[in-house]
């Protein structure tokens, strides 16, 4: 699976399909992607998977642990998030993933902060997901 920013300076490669995909309604995702909700695909981090220079924008996560969104140093596109509570996973912003990636979200998260109506029947979590991928 290939992930790329707008200018191509920053790219990520994953050999495995995402562990899960979630639609996030949190304020932080909205601020960095400028979309009302954001599809985030969580991949197992792979060595050498990230190529290019990034600027990190740190936030305190809803769980009280830090997270950082990584943008391309050149074009400023936000591409992925490193969430310390999700060990070993990288949360990639869905619209930066190249075909043949198919969005298949499993749930809505952080609906307590949502600003759009939800029209589908996926499970909804007011905060983070009940089961955290990658954490046991």
Query: Given the rule CB under 5 A, which of 3-11, 55-63, 90-98, 111-119 is the region that contacts Zn ion?
Result: 3-11
For tokens 């992930």, the residue is 3
Count the residues of the shown chain that bind Zn ion, applying the rule CB under 5 A.
9
| Contact status: 5 vs Zn ion (CB under 5 A) | yes
| Contact status: 98 vs Zn ion (CB under 5 A) | no
Question: What is each CA distance from 101 to 58, 69, 105, 118, in whole angstroms?
Answer: 27, 21, 12, 23
| Contact status: 75 vs Zn ion (CB under 5 A) | yes
Distance (Å, whole) CA 128 – CA 47? 26
Query: Given the rule CB under 5 A, which of 42-50, 67-75, 83-91, 119-127 is the region that contacts Zn ion?
Result: 67-75
């Amino acid at each position: 699976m290939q992930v790329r920013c707008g200018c191509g300076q920053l790219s990520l490669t994953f050999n495995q399909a995402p562990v899960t995909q979630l639609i996030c309604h949190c304020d932080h995702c909205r601020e960095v992607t400028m979309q009302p909700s954001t599809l985030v695909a969580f991949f197992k981090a792979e060595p050498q998977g990230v190529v290019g220079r990034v600027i990190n924008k740190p936030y305190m996560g809803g769980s009280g642990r830090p997270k950082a969104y990584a943008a391309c140093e050149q074009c400023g596109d936000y591409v992925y998030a490193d969430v310390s509570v999700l060990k070993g996973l990288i949360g990639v912003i869905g619209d930066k993933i190249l075909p043949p990636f198919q969005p298949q979200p499993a749930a809505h998260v952080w609906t307590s902060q949502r600003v759009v109506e939800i029209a589908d029947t996926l499970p909804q979590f007011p905060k983070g997901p009940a089961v955290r991928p990658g954490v046991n």
